[in-house]
Structure 1
Amino acid sequence: MPERATIRHGARSTKQAIAIGLSKARRSGVALPPPKTGMRKTRESAARAYRHGRSLRSQRPSARRSRAVKAALRHEGRRSAARKAARTRTKNR
Structure 2
Amino acid sequence: MNTFLYCGAGELVAEQCNAVYRAMCDLEWYELESSKARSLILLMMRAKYPFYYYCRKYFPLTMTTFCSILKSSVGYISFLLTKHD
Q: Tell me the TM-score normalised to structure 1 length.
A: 0.30
Give the structure, 1 or 2, with the largest relative contact order (CA under 8 Å, sep 6 or more): 2
Which protein is bigger by CA-based radius of gyration? 2
Q: Which has the higher helix share?
A: 2
Q: Which has the higher strand share?
A: 2
